[in-house]
Every structure is written in structure tokens, then in C-alpha cells.
């Protein structure tokens, strides 16, 4: 299957973003699905499902579609079960920006004028063609959580107080993450790092890290293509000359070229820090982000085991 890159996937997103309000209704004809004992909400990715769970508790039934940490999300193909979940959903949360376009098809196949839709990329002000990995931007999840709380309160007004109370708890639970970001930025701001692809780019910017990897290399890996020979040579030179203090490696996109880069970095004694596109099982969003930051901080400090 051809992977959809963030550079070339903006057309459909841009069109749909004009039509769909961030917290509005998905256009289409048909009647809403019958009400269940608890409203059904669907998250295209499990980190958004996790945030929904932190905010809603057991007041709603949550389905996260992309949840396998061992699968490249770009290669995901939706199933009949996914379609059934979306058909029942009172609220859908998706990333947008070309990352999960299959959600548009699922919603179009089961029109529901009462269904609310949060498109995160649109919510936080991005447009088609932007890097879609917006959940790594520290400013994203507070806005997403607030939008989710408003949507949940409209779906289930009787539990609105609970949702808003949980929003306060969620905001408080983000403080250790925000503190760690500030500390790494203070200690290591300006440090040069390398990427196999730009999954971590928004967080790197928040940390004031300097990404030296050729953009052509990152873009090609992101789009599932072979990087240009010149960018591969430049990447190898940067590693060989120890210009990067750390290599940030997407553990969910393993290709011959990324494997060679990872092995080369290790041979040269450059720390490799794995990052992922899907929240690992057994960790909350906050724990996931913090664990990656802790690994990165250890690598920057030269204390990686």
C-alpha cells in the first residue's frame, strides 16, 4: 500500500475543513443511529481515545481505531467493525491533515446529521500539507481536551459537570510534562539532533532542538519512498562527523534505509531514542510523552544505557 505523506495529502483535507466545522455536524442525509445506554464516541487514534477516557470516564463508550503500537499507522486500512463504530458514534475525533483520511470515507458511508466531529489539525490552526503529527505539539492537547469537553457536554448535558471537573484534573496532569519540556529546553536548547522522519518535529521545536537531517531525507521516509542519494550521503556524513547528539528514530516505520541509519548511529556511538506514532499499551498520553522525554534527556546528557 502506498503511504500518504504529509506533504502531498492536503487537498482532500483542505476541502473538507471548509465544509466541516471543528465541532459541527458531518454533512449528509439520514437519521441518527438509535441511542444506546451510553453515548458512543470514536477516536481515530488511541491517544485521542485516551484523552476522551480521561475526560469522560465511564459516561461514554469509547472506540479507538488505530491502537496497535506495532503497526505503521500510515498503512492502516479500515474494517467493517470500524465502520460500525463510526455509524453509532455521537462524537468522532480524528487527526486530519492527511493522516487518517479513511475516517472521511467511514463517515460518508454512514451519514448522521447529529454526529459531532473534531478534526484536531483544523482545531489547532493547521492546514493541508502541514506536518500531521500535531499530538507532539505541547499546545495541542489542552485545546483538544477543551473541545472534547464541550462536545461531550452537548452530547450528555447531565454529566457536563463531571466532564468539566475531569478537564481540570487533566490540565493538572499535564504540568509534569510541561515542566520537563521547560527543563530540557533550558539545559539543551540548541542541541543538534537527527530524525529518520519528522514524527517528533513539533516537540523538538518546543524543546528548541536543532534538527539537522536533510528535509528531503525526512520527507521521503515519511512518504514511504527511497530518499535521494544526496540526502542519504549527507545524513551519513552528519552521523560520521558526530554533528548530531541524538538520533530520533520512528519505531513504527522500519525500512531498510531507516534500519541502516539506526545501525550506523549505534556503530558511531550516537544515542538512538525511539519515538512512536501510537500510544503504547498500558500508558496514558502523559506517561507516554514523559517516558520519551526522559529517554531523550538521558541521551542528550550522555547517560543512555
The pLDDT tens digits of the residues spanning 21-73 come to 333 333 332 223 334 479 999 999 999 999 999 999 999 999 999 988 777 67
| pLDDT for 215 beyond 60 | yes
| Phi and psi at residue 53, to the nearest 5° | -65, -40
| 76-80, 215-219, 300-304: range with highest mean pLDDT | 215-219
C-alpha grid cell for residue 295? 529517554
| β-bridge pairing 40-45 and 61-66 | parallel
Of the chain, the percentage scoring pLDDT greater than 90 comes to 79
The chain-wide mean pLDDT, for the chain, equals: 88
Q: Which long-range contacts (CB under 8 A, 24 or more apart) does 176-179 make?
A: 176/286, 176/290, 177/138, 177/286, 177/289, 177/290, 177/293, 178/138
| pLDDT for 246 beyond 90 | yes
* C-alpha to C-alpha distance for 216 and 198, rounded to whole angstroms: 11
The pLDDT of residue 303: 80
Which has the higher per-residue pLDDT, 78 or 190?
190
- CATH 3.40.50.1980 domain extents, the chain: 10-173, 180-301
* Gyration radius (Cα) of the chain, Å: 20
* C-alpha to C-alpha distance for 134 and 153, rounded to whole angstroms: 24
Whole-model pTM: value is: 0.86
Q: Which CATH number fits domain 180-301: 3.40.50.1980, 3.40.50.2000, 3.30.1330.50, 3.30.2320.20?
A: 3.40.50.1980
Give me the residue label for grid cell 466545522. 21
* C-alpha to C-alpha distance for 253 and 228, rounded to whole angstroms: 18
Half-sphere exposure of 255 (CA within 13 A, CB side): 18
CA distances from 19 to 25, 50, 256 (A): 10, 27, 40
| pLDDT for 100 beyond 50 | yes
Q: Which CATH number describes the domain made up of 10-173?
A: 3.40.50.1980
b/e map of 262-288 (b: 16 or more CB within 10 Å)? bebbeeeebbbbebbbbbeeeebbbbb
With 0-12 / 13-18 / 19 or more C-beta atoms within 10 angstroms meaning exposed / middle / buried, residue 126 is buried
The pLDDT of residue 166: 98
Q: What is the pLDDT of residues 123-181, one digit of tens each?
A: 999 999 999 999 999 999 999 999 999 999 999 999 999 999 999 999 999 999 999 99
Give the mean pLDDT of 205-230. 95
| pLDDT for 7 beyond 50 | no
The pLDDT of residue 18: 32
| pLDDT for 11 beyond 70 | no
For 145, residues 6+ apart whose C-beta sits below 8 A from its C-beta are: 51, 54, 55, 167, 170, 171
Amino acid at each position: 500500500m502506498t503511504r500518504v505523506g504529509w506533504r502531498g495529502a492536503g487537498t482532500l483535507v483542505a476541502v473538507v475543513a471548509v465544509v466541516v466545522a471543528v465541532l459541527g455536524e458531518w454533512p449528509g442525509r439520514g437519521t441518527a443511529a438509535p441511542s444506546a445506554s451510553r453515548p458512543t464516541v470514536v477516536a481515530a487514534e488511541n491517544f485521542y481515545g485516551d484523552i476522551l477516557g480521561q475526560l469522560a470516564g465511564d459516561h461514554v463508550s469509547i472506540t479507538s481505531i488505530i491502537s496497535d503500537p506495532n503497526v505503521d499507522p500510515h498503512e492502516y486500512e479500515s474494517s467493517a467493525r470500524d465502520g460500525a463504530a463510526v455509524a453509532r458514534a455521537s462524537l468522532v475525533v480524528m487527526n486530519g491533515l492527511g493522516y487518517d483520511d479513511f475516517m472521511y470515507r467511514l463517515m460518508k458511508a454512514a451519514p448522521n446529521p447529529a454526529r459531532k466531529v473534531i478534526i484536531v489539525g483544523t482545531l489547532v490552526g493547521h492546514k493541508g500539507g502541514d506536518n500531521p503529527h500535531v499530538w507532539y505539539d505541547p499546545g495541542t492537547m489542552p485545546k483538544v481536551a477543551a473541545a472534547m469537553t464541550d462536545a461531550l457536554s452537548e452530547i450528555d448535558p447531565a454529566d457536563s459537570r463531571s466532564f468539566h471537573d475531569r478537564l481540570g484534573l487533566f490540565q493538572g496532569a499535564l504540568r509534569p510534562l510541561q515542566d520537563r519540556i521547560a527543563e530540557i529546553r533550558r539545559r539543551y536548547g540548541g542541541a543538534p539532533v537527527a530524525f529518520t522522519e519528522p514524527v517528533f518535529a513539533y516537540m523538538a521545536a518546543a524543546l528548541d532542538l536543532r534538527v539537522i537531517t536533510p528535509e528531503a531525507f525526512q520527507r521521503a521516509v515519511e512518504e514511504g519512498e527511497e530518499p535521494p542519494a544526496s540526502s542519504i550521503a549527507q545524513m551519513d556524513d552528519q552521523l560520521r562527523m558526530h554533528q548530531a547528539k541524538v538520533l530520533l528514530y520512528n519505531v513504527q516505520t522500519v525500512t531498510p534505509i531507516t534500519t541502516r541509519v539506526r545501525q550506523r548511529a549505534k556503530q558511531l556511538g550516537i544515542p538512538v531514542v525511539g519515538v512512536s506514532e501510537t500510544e503504547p499499551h498500558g500508558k496514558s498520553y502523559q506517561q507516554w510523552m514523559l517516558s520519551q522525554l526522559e529517554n531523550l534527556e538521558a541521551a542528550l546528557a550522555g547517560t543512555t544505557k
